Amino acid sequence: MTLQIIWLFLLAIPVAAISWTVTHEEIFREPREYCLRQSENNSRLLWRKFFFLFTCEFCFSYYVTAFFLIITRYKLLYQDWRGYLIGGFALVWIANQYMSLYAHIRLDIRKERVEIKHVEQKVEEQKQRNGDNDEIRKAA
């Protein structure tokens, strides 16, 4: 049982990484934008749903999880089909927790960068004002 739990948390890492990369990162931007357009504009419902899965990390993580369940034969709690079912839902849940954590960390980093840039701009403006004041004092 302990080994199954360790596998659960370890297998969720590549599931989260693949799902996030395909649905958010720049390297897949063009295909993702195409899929987004198709999911919004395709006349057939089935095609809209198919293309939507490449734009949603939660949706896509189910397919990535299914792939990892097939290649690793990971089962949780039971050694029959129920183990695959429980393991699959648990993997998706843990992977989505990882992606949520990653999104929050990225947001915090972005926020810090903006704050740092703002402080740097204020310091630069202050330096310019002080430089102007020094020139006025020298002239006087």
Distances (CA, A) of 121 to 9, 31, 62, 113: 43, 37, 45, 12
Output the pLDDT for position 61. Answer: 94
Q: 33: helix, coil or strand?
A: helix
**Average pLDDT by consecutive 10-residue portion of the chain (140 residues)?**
91 94 90 92 92 89 95 93 95 95 86 85 82 61
Output the pLDDT for position 128. Answer: 82
Continuous segment of H or E residues that includes residue 93: helix 81-139
Handedness of CA 23, 28, 15, 42 (dihedral sign): positive
Output the pLDDT for position 123. Answer: 84
Output the pLDDT for position 139. Answer: 60
Q: 55: helix, coil or strand?
A: coil
Note the pTM of the prediction, 2 decimals: 0.72
Output the pLDDT for position 135. Answer: 60
